[in-house]
Each structure stands twice: as C-alpha cells, then as structure tokens.
C-alpha cells in the first residue's frame, strides 16, 4: 500500500520525500489543477528539480491536471499533458475525458490515474475509464463506506487509491458546484473552492464574520476563531436552528482503519493538502509512513499510537478528525 503525499511547492516535495512518501503529487501554476492558489505549485523549472529530487530517491512523481477545461481552454490543458510527458512524471492525474482522450492518443505510454475529480464512485464507473482511457489507477471520492470500498476494489479493473488524511470534502468531488453557485468559480472550472478574491473577514461590534461574495458563511464571537469560508463547513439556519448543517470543520483521519484498507486491497493512501506548509507535510508524512509500515510489517498487531493521533489531531481543521463516509453512521 503506497503513501501518496502532497507537494504544493519544492520545499514540501523535499520534506515529503525525506519523510518517506512513496509518491508525491504536484500541479502547475495555473487553473489546470484543483489547488489553483496564489503562491502555490510549480514552474516547469521547479518541476524538473522536484522530479529529479524525488525519482533519484526512489519516490514517484504524479502531476495533477485534474480540472475541466472549456473548449477554448483545452490547448492549455493539452500543453500540461505534453509537459508531463516530456518531464517523465510517473503518472498524470486526470479528470476530464477530453484531456484523457488527448493523453491516450498523443502519449500512449504515459500512465493515467483517474483523479478524485473524475467522480467515479462505483466499479462500473472506474471500469468505464479503464476500458476507454486505459487508466492505471483510480482515486475515489470520499463518499463510500469501507464495505463499499472493498466491493469496488474487488470489482475494479484497476488498483484503487483512497484518501487517508486531510481536509474532508463532504460532497462528491468533481460534482460540487457550491462555490461556483456563490461566486462563479469553483473546483471544476477554476481549480479552487471559495477563491480568495471573494472571501471577506469582517469585524462588527460584537462578531467576526466570514463572507463569500457577500454571503454570510459563519460568524463567531470576537474572541473565537473562525475557519476559511468553504460553504460546506459554514453555519446556517435550518428549521429555526443554527448549526453546521453540512459538516463541522474537521479533517479525515484513517489511522484506525489503515490495516483494514490494506486488507481489502487498497493500492494507495493519499494525503490531502498541497495548500499546507512544508512543516505540516513533513509531520503528516512521518506519521502516515510509520503507521503504514506497521500495517505492512505486522498487520495482525497494528495499533494506532496515541502520539500519531495527537500529531494528526493538532494539524486538523478545528482540531477535530473523523472517519467520514468510511464509517456508516457518519452518513
């Protein structure tokens, strides 16, 4: 079971490699990937350096080109695919069928992984991409229970990668329009949800508010802290009650089910967080490496160490973690 870690920039890539990632994933500095944030991602020169650094140490490099180009944008996405082929990444992480079709035709030897943004939640959907685009792996959305993951792994034509730690998308990835409904820009068409230019933090006499394109996402008393205004983690009024109607600020943490994920045949565990600091990437990679090593070497005796949970808990959104949809009652 591989450990796949986020590389938002060169320093993060280096610490992830040193801390024991089996693979790192990165993106270019444009809307071709789902973490299109200012100051993040790689120039071509940095990619070359990163690939050399990682591959010479036995770590694979994946390039995420996992947003959806409109007709007139397609050449830019195709250029990203060409760049990946030229720089010899180990795999391209793609979501769009048009981009996949191009990659298959132009670079038939290039490995394609289906991005989580490709929204494949069943074996039939994964096998569609396997048969049509010869994908070598699929990353699946954070919507399946562990039993459903096992069923998918058993019936899929290709190995399956799942999310192991990081920010929790509550909605099926690739099919969430909440951000673009509020702002015009979202993960599919822009590579980011709640783009920074629409975010407003406002102090009133009694409250601290966060707004997205004018919409009140949350408000707290002045001495409390409030998270980044992603729509699914806001507080709203439903049936005269105010609360986290969709989900609380929390991070996914699969330490307690890692041995099970290994046992059902999951091929790789992914850590979310290209937007996070190198220090975060190092700490999470170290914990996940140690845990996966324990799973691999002593699967019957695997026990989650308190120190691992402590470290990951401290790094989590709202200092809370959850098993998300893997755990049926969360649903």
What residues from 55 to 84 belong to the interface with other proteins (CB under 8 A)? 68-74
Residue 127 CA: distances (Å) to CA of 49, 115, 135, 154, 160: 35, 14, 9, 12, 11
Stretch 160-179 residues interacting with other proteins (CB under 8 A): 170-172, 174-178
Residue 106 touching other proteins (CB under 8 A): no
What the block records as the tokens of 282 is: 């190092």
Of the candidates 46, 49, 76, 180, which one interacts with other proteins according to CB under 8 A? 180
The answer to whether 31 and 67 are in contact (CB under 8 A) is yes
Residue 142 touching other proteins (CB under 8 A): yes
Of 5, 26, 3, which Cα lies nearest the Cα of 15? Answer: 5
Stretch 236-255 residues interacting with other proteins (CB under 8 A): 236-239, 241-242, 245-247
Q: How far is the CB of 87 from other proteins (least distance, A)?
A: 23
What string marks each residue from 114 to 133 as x (binds other proteins by CB under 8 A) or -?
A: ----xxxxxxxx-xxx-xx-
Residue 94 touching other proteins (CB under 8 A): no
What the block records as the tokens of 155 is: 């019936």
**Would you say 94 or 315 has its CB closer to other proteins?**
94
Residue 97 touching other proteins (CB under 8 A): yes
Total residues contacting other proteins by CB under 8 A comes to 73
Residue 329 touching other proteins (CB under 8 A): yes
Q: How far is the CB of 52 from other proteins (least distance, A)?
A: 32
What the block records as the tokens of 4 is: 């796949």
User: Which listed range, 21-29, 232-240, 263-271, 296-304, lies at the site for other proteins (CB under 8 A)?
Assistant: 232-240
DSSP annotation string for 35-68: ---TT-SB-HHHHHHHHHHHHTTT-EEEEEE-S-
Stretch 289-328 residues interacting with other proteins (CB under 8 A): 324-325, 328
- For residue 201, how far is the Cα from the chain centroid? 26
Residue 35 CA: distances (Å) to CA of 14, 187, 194, 261, 275: 19, 8, 11, 26, 7
Spatial separation of the C-alpha atoms in residues 79 and 220, rounded to whole Å: 45
């Amino acid at each position: 079971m591989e450990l796949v870690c986020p590389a938002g920039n060169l320093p993060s890539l280096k610490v992830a490699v040193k801390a024991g990632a089996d693979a790192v994933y990165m993106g270019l500095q444009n809307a071709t990937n789902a973490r299109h944030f200012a100051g993040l991602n790689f120039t071509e020169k940095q990619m070359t350096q990163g690939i050399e650094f990682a591959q010479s140490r036995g770590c694979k490099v994946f390039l995420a080109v996992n947003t959806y180009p409109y007709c007139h944008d397609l050449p830019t996405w195709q250029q990203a695919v060409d760049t990946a082929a030229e720089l010899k990444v180990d795999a391209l992480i793609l979501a769009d069928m048009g981009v996949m079709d191009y990659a298959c035709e132009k670079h038939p030897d290039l490995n394609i992984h289906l991005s989580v943004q490709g929204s494949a939640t069943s074996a039939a959907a994964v096998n569609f991409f396997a048969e049509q685009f010869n994908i070598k792996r699929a990353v699946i959305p954070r919507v399946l229970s562990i039993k459903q993951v096992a069923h998918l792994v058993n019936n899929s034509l290709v190995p399956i990668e799942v999310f192991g730690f990081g920010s929790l998308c509550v909605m099926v990835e690739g099919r969430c329009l909440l951000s673009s409904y509020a702002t015009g820009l979202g993960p599919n068409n822009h590579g980011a949800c709640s783009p920074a230019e629409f975010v407003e933090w406002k102090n009133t006499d009694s409250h601290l508010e966060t707004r997205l394109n004018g919409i009140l996402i949350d408000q707290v008393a002045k001495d409390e802290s409030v998270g980044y205004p992603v729509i699914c983690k806001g507080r709203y009024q439903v049936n005269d009650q105010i609360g986290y109607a969709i989900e609380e600020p929390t991070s996914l943490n699969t330490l307690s089910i890692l041995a099970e994920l290994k046992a059902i045949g999951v091929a790789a565990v992914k850590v979310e967080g290209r937007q996070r600091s190198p220090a975060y990437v190092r700490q999470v990679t170290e914990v996940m490496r140690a845990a996966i090593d324990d799973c691999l070497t002593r699967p019957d005796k695997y026990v989650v160490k308190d120190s691992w949970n402590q470290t990951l808990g401290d790094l989590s959104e709202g200092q809370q973690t959850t098993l998300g949809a893997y755990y049926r009652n969360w649903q």
